[in-house]
Structure 1
Amino acid sequence: MLLAASRGGQVSSTGVVSWLRIARADVHRQTLLKSSPGPSSASTRSGNDNQLLIHALTPTTKSPLLALAKRIADAGCNLSESRVSTIGTEISLMLLATGAWDALAKLETALAKLGRDESMRLVHYRTGPRQNSSHLLPYLVEVVAADRPGIVARIVDFFSQHGISVEQLNSTRYQAMQTGAEMFQAQFTIGIPAEIHIAALRDDFLELCDGLNLDAIMDPVKF
């Protein structure tokens, strides 16, 4: 820059001043960069990366939902996902809490005490965010049939043989209002790998259901 500012072998005073200002600014910037602390491993981890999965099973007359929701809030955690269902005389709760590492540690301590005090069947363990599964196409399968053993096993076996994951399953046994017949109904949410030919898969599945005398449909999840 001194050479650029020189004229006829003489260095311009204006050029020297400008060069000094730029040099000082650059030195100041480098000093700030060196003195600035880098992000710690704890701070770079998103709160959603720290997750605690909680499962409770109790009689329906003693639902622990309120107690668990309060413990999660008191620990400073978020309730990200929840599944509550009544099966027989029991109520099952699956809760996913997210938060900072120390908040989850506080929650774990509170849950251990709650389990002891209430004699509750309660388990919890650390987990993490689910990996991206954008290669799986979500489909809904509904099955209705006269109730008999082995229906779910045959359907799940079909999915397993084709590399299809079962994301959710809801099934129930009921008595038909019109005839009193014992019926079975199930809803499967499945993830079909994108490379599978859907029409051929649907044909194979419906052929299986015809052989088992099941009434079934397979449609894409549209939301």
Structure 2
Amino acid sequence: MSTNPFSARSSNDHQLLIQTLTPATRTPLLALARRIADAGCNLSDARVSTIGADTSLTLLASGAWDAVAKLETALAKLAREEELRLTHYRTNLREPSGHLLPYLVEVVSSDRPGILVKIVDFFSRHDISVEQLSSMRYQAMQTGAAMFQAQFTIGVPDKLHIAALRDDFLEFCDGLNLDAIMDPVKF
């Protein structure tokens, strides 16, 4: 018997990626979750984020071929009835990548244009994938200064020397006057 949790998935499992952006007061999360369940699918992954006055939803539904087809029909009907801008398409599960080590990076600095681009460029030049990103601008409560904060989950190729990468990254951040940490994800 296999102990790999990914091998427990049936070859009949089909994936449907669903995305929508709506005003926060009209978030269709409950309606979408109900349609997914009513079609006989599972809600495998969900990302909900309020950005400005809007809510972004990215959902991954999985199920047998006919259940996913039923869900596609239900989503088209929901989009018409609720006047939603809804995108959905079939996708595949991402194969686990045993050669990428998960690291968490946090950056805080005074806000100025181009910080995020420079950080993403650093990762790109080192063949490091950005798996998740959350960033925001805010006003410091104590001083009122305009601040920038970002949190990344990155995939570091196991062939990279971690100590050298961390040194390069922290030197890069020092050169831009960014306060940063880079630690392994511990879960």
TM-score range for the pair, normalised by the shorter chain length:
over 0.9
Question: What's 1:46 paired with?
Answer: 11
**Partners in 1 of 2:90 and 2:173 — Cα distance?**
39
**Partners in 2 of 1:58 and 1:45 — Cα distance?**
33
The DSSP-based 3-state class of the residue aligned with 1:61 is helix
Identity percentage of aligned residues? 75
**Partners in 1 of 2:12 and 2:186 — Cα distance?**
30
1:15-54 matches, cutoff 5 A: 45-48=10-13, 50-54=14-18
The DSSP-based 3-state class of the residue aligned with 1:134 is coil
Tell me the CA shift for residue 46 of structure 1.
2.8
Q: Unaligned 5+ residue runs, structure 2?
A: 1-8
Q: Which amino acid aligns with 1:59?
A: P
Tell me the matched-pair count: 179
TM-score after normalising by structure 2: 0.94
CA RMSD after TM alignment: 1.1
**Partners in 2 of 1:206 and 1:150 — Cα distance?**
18
Runs of 4+ in 1 over 6 A off after TM superposition: none
Is the CA contact 1:47–1:98 (under 8 Å) kept in the aligned structure 2?
no
Q: 1:92 aligns with which of 38, 52, 56?
A: 56
Q: Does 1:146 align with 2:103?
A: no
Q: Unaligned 5+ residue runs, structure 1?
A: 1-43
Q: Which has the larger radius of gyration?
A: 1
Question: What's 1:124 paired with?
Answer: 88
Q: Which amino acid aligns with 2:11?
A: S
**Partners in 2 of 1:90 and 1:186 — Cα distance?**
20
Q: Which amino acid aligns with 1:61?
A: T
**Partners in 2 of 1:73 and 1:128 — Cα distance?**
20
Of Structure 1 and Structure 2, the greater strand share is in: 2
Q: 2:168 aligns with which of 193, 198, 204?
A: 204
